Amino acid sequence: MKKWMVVLVVLLGIALLVTRYLPDSFDYKIGRGFAHDRVIDGKDEVAGKNEILVDVSKSQIYQGDLLLINKDYPLVDGNEAQDIVKLVDYSTFASQIVLLDRSLSLSQDVAERFLTMVKDANVEGIDHFMASSGYRTNQEQDNLYDEKGSEYAMPAGYSEHNLGLALDVGSTQSGIEKSEEGVWLRDNAWKYGFILRYPKNKEKITSIKYEPWHFRYIGLPHSAIMEEHDMVLEEYYEALRDEPLSITIEGQHYNVRYHPMLNDKKIAVPADGDYTISGNNVDGVIVTERHR
């Protein structure tokens, strides 16, 4: 065999190996069915040591802080945050963060957590935060959709802004992406339970263009696990379908597990009551346990 042929054969071999081990073209979507060979029997769980059983209804799929809202899974009417407040009336918030609009509203709990975060940034001299959008009613979302079109806005129900747990953040000094405020939030928001919902390198997964301004409250430990594994919400829920995830934060151990909800059922939770249950807005609930 001639030398160039040997080289060609070797190169072809390498090319074959490379294609074999590259991930499949990334067409990512949470299935509406169950992606893996999970045993789905809809049966009640059995309580283990230090556990009790609680009744969880199928309707809880659509309630809680962990709802996945995207083009495939809209918010079910009435399941937005129940503590929406006008930020202008919340004076401590309005004194620290410039409000672009006097009508800006948000879940009060999320507003308080955001304020805690901003105060910590202030300590480091970063203090030019601005809030440009918060909770939107279906009517407001529809108006925005009509005005901006499908490339820049979602129809009512399909935006996280309809949930009341997301806000758009700006800097009064410059565009958010390059501003100190934006950089600080990208590095630190996860410590406070917030996530940059639409990062630059995940556009194919979220189906939303990079939005350096849009932050969603999801809570700890979820934001920390997602940061640790570089996951967006869609990936996080996909990972939870495979196996429970856990993390230790400041000495507290958290277990997070997904339960498919084919019907109302009993789920085992810690008897000490240190747990939360939230729907994923798709097909199940996420049980988060804290062990001290």
Q: Residue 64 carries which DSSP code?
A: S
Within residues 113-172, the interface with Zn ion by CB under 5 A covers 168
228 belongs to the catalytic site: no
Q: How far is the CB of 74 from Zn ion (least distance, A)?
A: 16
Which helix (H) or strand (E) is 266 found in, with range? strand 265-270
Sheet containing 166-171, strands listed edge to edge, beginning at the edge strand earlier in sequence: 98-99, 129-133, 166-171, 214-217, 194-196
CA distance 109 to 106: 8
Q: How far is the CB of 172 from Zn ion (least distance, A)?
A: 18
- The number of residues that bind Zn ion (CB under 5 A) is 2
Within residues 231-260, the interface with Zn ion by CB under 5 A covers none
Instruction: Please name every residue paired with 260 in a beta bridge, in sequence order, or none if there are none.
Output: 284
Measured from the CB atom, the residue of 168 and 234 that comes closer to Zn ion is: 168
Measured from the CB atom, the residue of 131 and 261 that comes closer to Zn ion is: 131
Is 142 exposed, middle or buried (CB count within 10 Å of its CB: 0-12, 13-18, 19+)? middle
Instruction: Please name every residue paired with 246 in a beta bridge, in sequence order, or none if there are none.
Output: 255
Give the binding range for Zn ion (CB under 5 A) out of 34-42, 94-102, 211-219, 260-268.
211-219
Instruction: Please name every residue paired with 266 in a beta bridge, in sequence order, or none if there are none.
Output: 55
Contact between 222 and Zn ion per CB under 5 A: no
| Candidates 112, 140, 211, 227; catalytic one | 211
Look up residue 95 and give its amino acid: S
Closest residue to Zn ion, based on beta-carbon distance: 214
Contact between 214 and Zn ion per CB under 5 A: yes
Q: How far is the CB of 161 from Zn ion (least distance, A)?
A: 6
Give the binding range for Zn ion (CB under 5 A) out of 188-196, 198-206, 208-216, 219-227.
208-216
Q: How far is the CB of 132 from Zn ion (least distance, A)?
A: 8
CA distance 145 to 161: 13
Positions that interact with Zn ion (CB under 5 A): 168, 214
